[in-house]
């Protein structure tokens, strides 16, 4: 059976602006119907690393918060601590990064909560049926919510191929220890021909497992200690020379399937009280976890809403696939027909297929255009 996905394009006018469109999507998706007075509602977002400006702008989140409040429910905006180097590794700096990006109680009309606590140890383990993992470490601030609205920025990703609702759920609701389990199969290696020994990867590594060693021709290259590597892929994202590739086939399969497991676990106790909105705007090549963002590789396409996280991601993928790349973007500089693979050469369908196998939703969808 096809899942319904509501779609509103990115065009705006004096009669209806983009905030109006998101408000209409929320209302027409019936999300308010599963919200009750007094419900604690987690608004799951990714408020971005400071330096990146491609994340969902706060006014969109405010619109959703205000709609939730109309039902008498109690919304809070939330994300978790990270595994990688950056401002968001503990709740204090995480909230500082959020504020620097415009996410505050004043701008959102809701408190901000770091769902896994001060240093990422506030969690419970959820058993996963049919999964690659037996249990998932999910933040208590997600599990203790009565309902959840998941707001996801659609963009590229060096390990997933793309990021949407499923990644926002699976990786985004995991504790740092859970994120390390998800990344445990990722093992990057240095390509000596491309390495320039500029030490950027060394500065980005959160566990200090990269050093410079002597190489042939009297020059140095970086070396990664695989025994100490936690698989966060920070070095891969940071290297401007593409000198740290990953074994994409095995790494991507394991990472994506385990992330789907975590996405399934994050919905424990409220599977019928979750709504999803995907923002296909500023579709940048890399994750909002980076402290930079390149230009978008397709024009802004609009907004999708659904109660099915698999369907909304499948629809988002297909809308981008049908769109010509922006001239001068990363997608315009490489060969091939699949725009996602042009940006990051990863099989991005793995997470969709495994999430469907777990019963998270359906990859078959029907788009309903509402403007």
pLDDT at 199: 92
What is d(CA 358, CA 231) in angstroms, rounded to the nearest whole number? Answer: 25
The DSSP code for 23 is H
What is d(CA 81, CA 87) in angstroms, rounded to the nearest whole number? Answer: 9
pLDDT at 250: 55
- Quick one: tokens of 13? 């006018």
Is 43 in a helix, a strand, or coil? strand
The CA-atom distances, in angstroms, between 311 and each of 3, 136, 276, 356, 359 are: 6, 23, 10, 9, 12
For the chain, list residues with pLDDT below 70.
237, 246-250
Is 198 in a helix, a strand, or coil? coil
pLDDT at 247: 61
pLDDT at 207: 85
The pTM of the full predicted model, rounded to 2 decimals, is 0.88
Strands of 74-79's sheet in order across? 112-114, 74-79, 40-44, 147-153, 274-280, 302-306, 3-9, 365-369
pLDDT at 249: 53
- Quick one: tokens of 219? 């020059």
Model confidence pLDDT, tens digit, residues 279-288: 999 999 999 9
């Amino acid at each position: 059976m096809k899942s319904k996905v509501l779609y509103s394009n990115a065009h705006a006018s004096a009669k209806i602006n983009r905030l109006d469109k998101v408000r209409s999507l929320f209302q027409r998706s019936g999300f308010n119907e599963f919200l009750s007075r007094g419900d604690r509602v987690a608004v799951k977002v990714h408020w971005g690393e400071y330096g990146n400006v491609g994340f969902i702008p706060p006014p969109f989140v405010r619109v959703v918060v205000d709609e939730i409040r109309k039902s008498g429910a109690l919304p809070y905006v939330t994300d978790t601590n990270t595994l990688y180097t950056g401002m968001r590794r503990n709740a204090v700096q995480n909230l500082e990064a959020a504020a620097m990006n415009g996410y505050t109680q004043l701008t959102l009309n809701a408190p901000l909560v770091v769902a896994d606590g001060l240093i990422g140890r506030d969690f419970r383990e959820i058993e996963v049926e049919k999964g690659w993992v037996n249990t998932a470490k999910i933040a208590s601030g997600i599990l203790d919510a009565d309902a959840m609205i998941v707001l996801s920025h659609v963009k590229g990703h060096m390990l997933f191929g793309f990021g949407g609702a499923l990644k926002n759920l699976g990786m985004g609701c995991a504790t740092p220890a859970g994120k390390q389990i998800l990344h445990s199969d990722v093992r990057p290696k240095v390509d000596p021909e491309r390495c320039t020994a500029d030490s950027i990867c060394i500065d980005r590594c959160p566990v200090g497992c990269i050093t410079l060693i002597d190489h042939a021709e009297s020059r140095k290259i970086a070396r990664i200690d695989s025994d100490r590597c936690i698989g966060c892929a920070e070095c891969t994202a940071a290297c401007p020379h593409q000198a740290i590739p990953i074994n994409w086939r095995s790494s991507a399969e394991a990472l994506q399937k385990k992330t789907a497991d975590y996405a399934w676990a994050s919905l424990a106790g409220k599977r019928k009280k979750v709504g999803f909105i995907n923002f296909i705007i500023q579709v940048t090549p890399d994750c909002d976890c980076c402290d930079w963002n390149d230009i978008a590789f397709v024009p802004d396409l609009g907004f999708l809403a659904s109660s099915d996280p698999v369907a909304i991601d499948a629809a988002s993928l297909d809308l981008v696939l049908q769109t010509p790349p922006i001239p001068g973007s990363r997608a315009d500089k490489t060969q091939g027909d699949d725009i996602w693979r042009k940006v990051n050469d990863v099989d991005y369908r793995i997470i969709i297929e495994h999430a469907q196998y777990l019963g998270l939703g359906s990859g078959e969808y029907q788009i309903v255009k509402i403007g």
